[in-house]
Structure 1
Amino acid sequence: MIYAFVHKYRFQFRVEKLCAVMGVSRSGYYKWKNHKPSKQEKRRKKLIQQIRYHFYAFKRRYGSNKIAAKLREDGWVVSTKTVARLMKAMGLRSCTVKKYKATTNSKHNMPVYKNILNRNFNVAAPNKVWVTDITYISTAQGWVYLASVMDLFSRKIVGWSLGERMTKELVLEAFDKACERQKPQPGLIHHSDRGSQYASEDYRERLVEHQMIGSMSRKGNCYDNACIEAFHSVIKKELVYQTKFKSRKQAYDAIYEYIEFDYNRIRIHSSIGYMTPHLCEKRYYEQHQVA
């Protein structure tokens, strides 16, 4: 803005000279200088500050929908459209990168489960339906593989493991961690794709041991396991593609922090009413007085 430029250099050059060079009147400059912002202007300025705060507080990962939700949580009455417009004016864009999808090996002769879940992604309580999948991540030392287990009720990652090979041991470790952490009751539906790791005898025996109901996606249908694949897409967009991992250990440390803190405890999710997975689960137990 011209007047702001004049104001910035007013001690180095005479205001009259600056105004003449910039083609504005001196009276116009003083009118701008002495202007008192209206309530609407003050509100807009404060709103911009709060948008910027939430944008950088969560590492540039929130778009207008989530920032608008956080503002409403703070007591602001503001539309998503207004937030989107202000973010565009400020040049704030959430970090988004093209989805990178990995698939497990489903070309095997091992038995598979029917699709019991059948895309019923709305679950009434914790530890009723888990979904699981594997993806892979590049480091300077080579690939690392991430196996994740999600509780569909809260979208919480209840178990995960990282390893150098995409083996049944990798997925069993993630499964065991989830069971140890959540202690699910019999009857839980466990859904995965048809990958050989999940169809293995050891994995099927683990489901029987915990009295779980096995469910698998239809052949070649990624939408049947969309929620866990969406999580792997999110961790790629918000962490992996923003970082060049020099070692597998660096990747492990970053993924640990992202899953256990950023994703489970800080990041809000539109699918669960703009709550965090941790808060969603906690509120359920408080409301139902379950220990």
Structure 2
Amino acid sequence: MTEAIYLEVTEKAEAAHKAKRRVSVSGMLKILGVSRSGYRAWLKHVPSNAEKRRESVKAKIKDIYDKSKQNYGAPKITQVLRKTGETISERTVGQYMKQMGIKAQWVKPWTITTRDSDFSSKLQNILDEQFNPE
């Protein structure tokens, strides 16, 4: 939540700077209810190795998902990732997919719902019953 606020403040500050206007970042932060120290810390933030790996795995998942025409789910994507040498669990792939808002398409199995109406050739009078006696 606060990251979105920080991004918005940064974009507005850059836009004002390009338009050669003076803008108070501290004032914007105060109005939005965010501390200046938190904003400054966010500006200097360097992503950790875990964050970098997470983002690279998410990019691979998205690539595999798109190559499969958006059909593969977490189990199949996990298999493909493991073949490429990535060590990851199916549950983690599922969580990443949920965070990215993607999921496999489920195709309903096709079943016969109608019968052929031509019964005359298929049905036989096994009991030899006479329905129209003279």
* TM-score normalized with structure 2 length: 0.70
Task: Report deviation, 1:6.
Answer: 1.8
- The amino acid of 1:83's aligned partner reads V
- From the CA coordinates, give the structure whose radius of gyration is larger: 2
Q: What are the within-5 Å matches in structure 2 for residues 137-148 of structure 1? A: none
Task: Report deviation, 1:75.
Answer: 1.1
- The amino acid of 1:61's aligned partner reads N
Task: Report deviation, 1:3.
Answer: 1.5
Alignment match, 1:4: 7
Q: What are the within-5 Å matches in structure 2 for residues 55-70 of structure 1? A: 55-70=65-80
Q: Deviations over 1:23-52 (max 9, x none)?
A: 112221121111111111111111111111
* TM-score normalized with structure 1 length: 0.34
Alignment match, 1:93: 103
Equivalent residue in structure 1 for 2:94, among 84, 90, 113: 84
Equivalent residue in structure 1 for 2:46, among 33, 36, 42: 36
Q: Deviations over 1:46-91 (max 9, x none)?
A: 1111111111121111000111111111111000000001101111
Structure 1: distance between partners of 2:97 and 2:28: 32
Secondary structure of 2:108's aligned partner: coil
Task: Report deviation, 1:100.
Answer: 3.0
Q: What are the within-5 Å matches in structure 2 for residues 67-216 of structure 1? A: 67-102=77-112, 108=122
Structure 2: distance between partners of 1:57 and 1:21: 45
Structure 2: distance between partners of 1:63 and 1:24: 39
- The amino acid of 1:22's aligned partner reads L
Residue 34 (structure 2) pairs with residue 24 (structure 1)? yes
Provide the identity percentage.
35
Residue 54 (structure 2) pairs with residue 51 (structure 1)? no
In terms of fraction of residues, the more helix-rich structure is 2
User: After TM superposition, which residue ranges in structure 1, 4 or more long, deviate above 6 angstroms?
Assistant: none
In terms of fraction of residues, the more strand-rich structure is 1
Structure 1: distance between partners of 2:7 and 2:51: 17
Structure 2: distance between partners of 1:12 and 1:84: 38
Structure 1: distance between partners of 2:69 and 2:60: 14
- Cα root mean square deviation, aligned: 2.1
Give 5+ residue unaligned stretches, structure 1. Answer: 110-291
Task: Report deviation, 1:97.
Answer: 4.0
